[in-house]
Amino acid sequence: NSLNHGMTLSEFKFIWYMEYSHRMWGRVVGLAYILPAAYFWYRGWLSHRLKGCVLALCGLVCFQGLLGWYMVKSGLEEKPDSYDIPRVSQYRLAAHLGSALVLYSASLWTGLSLLLPRHKLPETHQLLRLRQYAHGTTALIFLTALSGAFVAGLDAGLVYNSFPKMGERWIPDDLLAFSPMLRNIFENPTTVQFDHRILGIASVTAVTALYLFSRKIPLPRRTRMAVTSLLAVACMQ
């Protein structure tokens, strides 16, 4: 109220309904997981291995909701001697996003494993290298997404709006303004935006290299389509 005393009732309702819709949608997603899982389990349609996957996914859904509550709670806490814009903790926001990415990826992997039979490919040296590189690229993309949560949580995107330089410099003066130095990575808006830029460029470079490397290996059509789609989405992003 002290910061947004000029807000109209309709403006407040817009924000309220956005938050309410997000919560309701999250609960619908939870029910979409748990109810069919309980029904398939009761009917005996799940194998022993699949039961473990279903339990893990349902646990992740519940954990995701708990993290969401924990994140929102941080934005409602009174901060003494602070007149900053109320915002949730960037640490909790990153945890909430990371949990969502793990849940989505695990769901997609489980679904595709059931729908599409696994290709029996000879374990050549090139194929093993491609698989290792794909895993490394996945980890880099995941880290880039998490760094984006810190950008959002600190409103770090508002600090510099020029690219490729940040203002007039390649490396801004206040990159290591906080003490101790480790705080800059998670709490300094300039450093957070700088890290996100570097990670984003590294992710696009890694995806491009993965695509170029995959072109040298005889791969099934489905795998080649996946790698090409990954490059297209990375460029669009």
Percent residues over pLDDT 90 in the chain: 69
Q: What is the pLDDT of residue 58?
A: 93
Q: What is the pLDDT of residue 76?
A: 76
pLDDT of residue 6: 80
For the residues 78-91, what does the mean pLDDT come to? Answer: 71
Q: Which residues pair with 169 in a beta bridge?
A: 166
Q: Residue type for 203, please?
A: S
Per the omega criterion (within 30 degrees of 0), is the bond before 122 cis?
A: no
pLDDT at position 97 is: 95
- Ramachandran class of 70: left when φ > 0, alpha when ψ lies in -120 to 50, beta otherwise: alpha
Residue type, 169: R
Tell me the average pLDDT across 218-223. Answer: 90
Per-residue CA distances from 138 to 70, 117, 151, 165, 217 (Å): 27, 22, 20, 27, 20
**Tens digit of each residue's pLDDT (9 = 90 or more) over 50-67:** 999 999 999 999 999 999
Q: Can you give the pLDDT at residue 5?
A: 75
Query: pLDDT, tens digit, for every residue of 16-48?
Result: 999 899 999 999 999 999 999 999 999 999 999
pLDDT in tens, 178-210: 989 999 999 999 999 999 999 999 999 999 999
pLDDT attached to residue 1: 54
Whether the pLDDT of residue 2 is over 70: the answer is no
Q: pLDDT tens digits, residue range 149-175?
A: 999 999 998 999 899 999 889 999 989
- Report which of 111, 138, 109, 102 is spatially closest to residue 36, judged by C-alpha positions: 111
For 56-84, the DSSP string reads HHHHHHHHHHHHHHHHHHHHHS--TT--S
pLDDT of residue 82: 55
Query: Is residue 229 classed as helix, strand or coil in its secondary structure?
Result: helix
Q: How far is Cα 197 from Cα 203, in angstroms, rounded to an integer?
A: 10
Q: What is the pLDDT of residue 200?
A: 97
Q: What is the pLDDT of residues 120-139, one digit of tens each?
A: 777 788 889 999 999 999 99
Closest CA to 224 of 237, 212, 206: 212
Q: Which pLDDT does position 122 carry in this prediction?
A: 77
